[in-house]
Copies of this chain bind each other. A is one copy, B any other.
Amino acid sequence: MENEFKLIEKLLASASRMTKGGGDYIKVPPGDDACLLSGLRHPVITTDTHRENIHFSFDWQTPEEIGRKAVSVTLSDLAASYAKPVSLFINLGIPSPFSEKTAEELYKGIGGGLAEYDCTLGGGNISGSDLLSLDLFAIGEGSADLFPLRSAAKPGDGLYCTGPLGLARAGLELLKKGDTDFQRLGNRFKFPKARFDAAKVLVDHGVRCVIDISDGLKGDALHLAEASNVTIELSIDRKDIDSDLTAFCRKYGLKPEEVAIAGGEDYELLFSCSQDVYGKLKKALPDAYPVGKCLPFTGIHILAPASKLSSFQHGKTNF
């Protein structure tokens, strides 16, 4: 175990050196009891957990894919909070034996994710565990103007999404079945993107209510509706359904709207604003489209087309 610790320590230290982009933030790097960062005017913090056989599986993901996705998914919460990534901390739980090749691939994925989002590795620790687990803590510098809230949706607002939904869930089904059709769908599950690009457009247009879609549209719209005390009526126009998702659904006898509404892990941003603001920001976000509207609270938080699919269960909850 001691050798495995030393190997990963070495690999992560080199991932830490690799990510020079946000390096200006780190005043005293990993290695001391704690890490000292430069001053932050609006510190934004989020945590995430990825456990083997709950959030990922070596049956359909490589160690590199697992590391990379863990970084993207954690940073997605910063995007949804209008914060720029500053530093990421990773606690690894590793099973024994843990091969050098697996450790190196995992590190490559983590390093790749950090480089993609210009984020530094601030530290972390490694301990033994029955199965592989990654606990990630990210700190970002928030926007001076605005911290978006789940509670800011108002009756009369439209509800919109920054990109196609349901693809990651369909992709996971394909990976589980070993179906190699529609590889793009599998890739949506494996390689989610934190939508900092879309967040930039939303903050520039003063959008105040944003969440990233990890639990699925229905699940995350419920979070908005509860926090904002509104009723949300969900509906997706058929023209806004992804064509690969439609083809997947045809093959497996599913309804594309149902998969789009229930499916999770797409990590697109869900936001509410007036139709007027939407009209303006749509020019900079051509892939955005309406997914519903906010109404005065009627006693029921979510009105959605009847569906046999439950919202995505990925085995964790934030508090």
Interface residues of A (CB under 8 A from B): 1, 5-6, 8-9, 12-13, 16, 27-28, 30-49, 51, 54-55, 77-78, 80-81, 83, 87, 89, 91, 93, 122-131, 133, 135, 137, 139-140, 142, 147-150, 210-212, 227, 315-319
Contacts and interface: CB of A to CB of B under 8 A. Distances in A.
Given A40-B40, A81-B32, A127-B315, A49 B9 contact: no
Contacts of A135: 47, 49, 91, 135
A81 B80 CA distance: 31
A227 B87 CA distance: 23
B125 A317 contact: yes
Nearest to A25: B43
Given A44-B36, A81-B36, A317 B139 contact: no
How many copies of this chain are found per oligomer? 2
A26 to B, nearest CB: 10
- A-B pairs, top 6 by smallest CB distance, nearest first, are A135-B135, A127-B316, A34-B46, A137-B137, A33-B77, A34-B81
A34 B78 contact: yes
Nearest to A137: B137
